[in-house]
Structure 1
């Protein structure tokens, strides 16, 4: 059930409130007029993404089962007096959702080994070591690695791997290659530089190196990918990849799939980027295939460089 528009605790900064427009977070934030009560989860509680904090609160009542929500906030009642509510609710009589307003988690499409991005009409293979997103504040995440850890930089909770799927706006004549090359700097900054509340979980990005790029078939559509090795001020750094291809549903708007992997021995294997790409399928055509290096035409294609 989608919560109605309103001010709710910001999952990135629980001491602030952020406007939820009924479908997604906006960039409007404010300091609450009344105190906001929040509990911070333990690092192994799975709350947050690689660059975000999450808030959890367990509430019990005589007529309600226990529900996990993003936090507790005092909302004004009809008479103007503050009253305690747990998380955003769609209606006064509806039960609180299990999580707060961040974008809905993708469905499993009835397959425990598959994650579905319904908006873009594709499914992803759920590899060993990867799970569906839970208590993830970052938008459009379709899967994460298991567990969390303390970030090497400014006190937030990080994950070793994220896969993000979103629709991108394509200007007239922009090819998947142009869109991927435009998206990769933003992907690197959002993953490893500064988060929305000004923290630097990895101390900031110091440099990057292009370690792979080329044409790629994804779900039977011709696309393009760019992969960077990112060096950060703290920690082992990581890898980020932007893969752009046209959707096979609706208006066939371009889809950008971002991969964010920690480097070092605790990060997921780079081969998972290729394995996930090769396993992406169109919901309209389950037999569609793809993958890094897959043939998509008679022209010569660059192969990815594997560090």
Structure 2
């Protein structure tokens, strides 16, 4: 999906991986496979600018890789979000990466985007980030998840798929994640072209800082199984060391 550089907040699903043949990342959520986040790959600036809609995106968070390099791919196990103090499991056929303000997991399977065949989409992905950095407001996990889902859907499947024509609400419920009382909202986004998508916004207090709500955004092509979203959701754990709770 292509989004404004100031927003750049998408998971690597039904989303643009390459903005154009020149590798420009100014208008895409994913400038290359695995960059399923608005904040780049731990220092490189990755997906366009260093800006998410809620803050400075890449300048204040931890940098898991040197400037200008891509964060290492984690092929199994889990990937750590040092800001929020959680880890995301890496499903089979996916890979994980630490990113400047969180962590991402992305499917290895890619294809040409149906509404822009010069760009590449990927079948599934998820990433975590503080709600404040995404620009998603709310005082509770429920409020944040409900406020985030539409933005998540539009940025995951709005462009590259000819836009979202409608959606079905599949779930809206309280959940416990990493020992925290959270809330999730899951939609089936109906697109104009190509694959429809399952999108989920999951919100819960950060184990590293109870005053900060973390959001995990998911997007998976409908041709895949919703079970991978459940697998990741259920596999989120408190990170070893607890995270640093650093504001970004």
Specify the TM-score bucket, using the shorter chain as the normaliser: 0.5 to 0.7
The two structures, once aligned, show a CA RMSD in angstroms of: 3.8
CA contact (8 A) 2:81 2:103 kept: no
Change (3 A) 1:53 1:259: same
SS in 2 for 1:182: helix
- For the pair 1:150 / 2:130, whether they are aligned, the reply is no
Alignment partner, residue 208 of structure 1: 167
What residue in structure 1 maps to residue 82 of structure 2? 118
Following the alignment from structure 1 to structure 2, what is the Cα–Cα distance between the partners of residues 107 and 247?
Answer: 24
1:56-85 residue CA offsets vs partner (Å, 9 max, x unmatched)? xxxxxxxxxxxxx999xxxxxxxxxxxxxx
Give TM-score scaled by structure 2 length.
0.66
- List alignment gaps of at least 5 residues for structure 2: 8-19, 34-43, 47-65, 243-248
Give 1:87-236 correspondences, 5 Å limit: 97-99=68-70, 105=71, 112-133=76-97, 142-154=104-116, 155-169=118-132, 174-193=139-158, 200-236=159-195
Separation in 2, partners of 1:133, 1:248: 20
**Separation in structure 1 between the aligned mates of residue 28 and residue 121 of structure 2, nearest angstrom:** 4
Max radius of gyration: which structure? 1
- Equivalences for 1:1-307 in 2 at 5 Å? 40=22, 52-54=30-32, 97-99=68-70, 105=71, 112-133=76-97, 142-154=104-116, 155-169=118-132, 174-193=139-158, 200-250=159-209, 252-264=211-223, 267=224, 269-283=225-239
Larger relative contact order (C-alpha < 8 A, sep ≥ 6)?
Answer: 2
Aligned-residue offset at 1:141: 5.5
> How many pairs were matched up?
195
Cα deviations across residues 70-125 of structure 1 (Å, max 9, x unaligned)? 99xxxxxxxxxxxxxxxxxxxxxxx97324xxxxx4886xx941111111110111
Contact 2:21 2:119 in 1 (8 A): no
Q: TM-score, normalised by structure 1?
A: 0.54
